[in-house]
Structure 1
């Protein structure tokens, strides 16, 4: 009874399984169940001991007590304890469901005795300062994660990864997955109209951000479908483009992904601008970005393909675009750079050095030998990450 899987038991009970329903009712009061089983168990054992002692004395005299004790101990251990309890532990449902019929009947018959025993027991526990509290068998997030990991063939590996990704959503914020401000594809509405027209046609995205002179003065998003429709009608102009923009939707930085996913659904939005506490735009996050955290990249096959930001070299090192997101780098390479600080490799190195390094500077960060390859525009552009066993040269910063 105690070895039954509580979650499978509830599933069977919800499907109307009579044995499961009986077992759940008995397990709702484990004190009564344990009291009933132990009363029956001890009655049988004591009775067997008394009978064996009488038979042993009559057959063998005084030495019969020792013979009866040894024989009965062996019989009880093998046939009444180890063997049946091992079978019951290996096949709990097969034993518990039929047994629940007998236990239910015995509980009715022996109810007064069970009540007295439980009353005495609870009184003793109260005197000892032990309170009877029903244990909450709800799983914590980490316990649920372990269940998913150990599900094995019951849950396909791909589904396991998706379930674990869903549980990780609350640990990831919009800054971790957003397109940073410096990489936004946006159109300055104050540019020459020919330039605007060219940027609209060449846009790699279906929605394009319009702004006036600076990203912080954002106007709104325009859907390329609307822009191309205006072009086909010969009505494409700055004023018509501004009339076609959609209202901006802002997302506070630090918002967990599970919260933002619910916000997107509630507000019927698919794209938002991430802003800091001062209202400055930090980047852009989309519904697709959040879904990709769960199911993987929509634009690639299920087979992991190398990122364009990571290029393996003949010597085993990797040339990496330093603007790469650290979470993406860890996920793709199986590395363990910290993700609770800067979001990019460039930011992590600058925070570590507390300075913008010169090219050819070498260091070891969190166990990974790194060489600065290219620096420009007040940021690190390219780095070389060596295999962890690589020995850094003695030149450069260490």
Structure 2
């Protein structure tokens, strides 16, 4: 074997190595996480911005890699054919084709791409500098090929929208599920994130306290009567109405009553605050923003005829994300206690939507928000202790009942 042949074999090995380099670069750079890359770039990790710049211009990156890879593969095939013909004559063409097919597949494609798929981040950082150089070197060629490719694509499928989001909502939800499955985030964190996604689609009517459950006071109510209402209900503020509940004219805060010294006749108008109104079909995202901006903690929800449909507090809004908030003034805990495999004990004031979420049921009502109210609605009257009713595949048994409401009940899923 003369020196010329040795040089050609070394050149062939070099070209195959270049093929492996381009294949590994393609897989690594096209599969690296853009979100993690953005995080590293913002934290000034060395080389991250170079990789991010390459990845953000994916058309140029892919064209540069493919052009480079094809150049070295064609060069390697031509050189291998020449070497084979020098040794085997005309039969060398077939031999070279067979050998190069195996070599390119094993060493130029499968092996480097498999390695890159499992080490995309590490390899991307190592190859980014050289790939950047190749793209600059092949700049004019890449430009021509990209223009030609874009023209063909437009002729076949029309103009494309290149402005795609970094990640879609569905992909983000999947990431949350996978993160929980792998132990990265806790169940309560997963639920809060899922609640954030649902938050944007909810309307005011979905989470408000409905009209029939509102505790309100008449403008003519006496000071002593008001104190008794606050003491009984344990609320920090209560709506004030004139004539009927459809005409709520103010909000009375319990702390404002401390300013009354009893020296003059009590007038509720002197202590109540302005009402914040919203409508039942308003987005709670926009409502939350408005309530924060105006430092409002309670809103009156109106229907299309400007009648009172319900009330809603900032606590209701926050609970949609983090779950129920129970403070030292709460008289009841709106619990769900599992008694057996398919039997539960629940508080009558538990919201229907919370029960649905916990049990995976689909109970719905246009008129009430609590499970106690829902069962009362189904009976058509206030049920007594021990009475039961079946709804769909569920059996409800009243455990305790007070005056005009169900305190607690058993739920059995059949």
Equivalent of 2:207 in 161, 174, 177: 177
Change beyond 3 A, Cα 1:269–1:193: closer
CA–CA distance in structure 2, aligned partners of residues 137 and 64 of structure 1: 52
Corresponding position of 2:63: 35
Q: Is the 8 A contact 1:13 1:20 kept in 2?
A: yes
Tell whether the 8 Å contact from 2:376 to 2:382 is kept in structure 1 after alignment.
no
Distance 1:362 1:213, change over 3 A: same
2 CA distance for matches of 1:208 and 1:156?
A: 37
Answer yes or no: is 1:99 the counterpart of 2:152: no
**Kindly tell me: are residues 121 and 248 of structure 1, through their superposed partners in 2, closer, same or farther at Cα, counting changes over 3 Å?**
closer
RMSD: 3.7
Q: Deviations over 1:318-344 (max 9, x none)?
A: 56677753202112x322215596654
Aligned residues: 376
Q: Which runs of 5+ in 1 are unaligned?
A: 389-398
Partners of 2:224 and 2:327 lie apart in 1 by: 34
1:273-352 equivalences under 5 Å are 273-299=300-326, 307=334, 317-318=343-344, 324-331=350-357, 333-337=358-362, 339=364, 344=369
The range that moved more, 18-27 or 30-39, is: 18-27
More RCO (CA 8 Å, sep 6+): 2
Matched, 1:13 2:41: yes
How far, CA to CA, are the matches of 1:168 and 1:357 in structure 2?
A: 34
How far, CA to CA, are the matches of 2:290 and 2:278 in structure 1? 9
Aligned 8 A contact 1:188 1:210 in 2: yes
List gaps (5 residues or longer) in structure 2. Answer: 1-28
Answer yes or no: is the 8 Å Cα contact 1:363–1:371 preserved in 2.
Answer: yes
Does 1:147 find its partner at 2:189?
no
Distance 2:374 2:80 in 1: 78
- The match for 2:162 among 128, 131, 134 is 134
Determine if contact 1:357/1:372 at 8 Å carries over to the other structure: no
When residues 170 and 2 of structure 1 are mapped into structure 2, their CA distance, relative to the original with a 3 A threshold, is same
Question: Does the CA contact (< 8 Å) of 2:365 and 2:374 recur in 1?
Answer: no
Q: Give the deviation of 1:255 after TM superposition.
A: 2.1
Structure 1 length normalisation: TM-score?
Answer: 0.79
1:103-158 CA-partner distances (Å, limit 9, x unpaired): 22222222233233334333433443543542513433333222222234444443
1:318–1:25 distance in 2 versus 1, CA, 3 Å: closer
**Equivalent residues in 2 for 1:1-398 (5 A)?**
1-17=29-45, 19-152=47-180, 153-191=183-221, 194-230=224-260, 233-235=261-263, 237-239=265-267, 241-299=268-326, 307=334, 317-318=343-344, 324-331=350-357, 333-337=358-362, 339=364, 344=369, 356=380, 363-365=390-392, 368-370=393-395, 385-388=411-414
Query: What TM-score results when the alignment is normalised by the length of structure 2?
Result: 0.76
| Partner residue in 2 for 1:392 | none
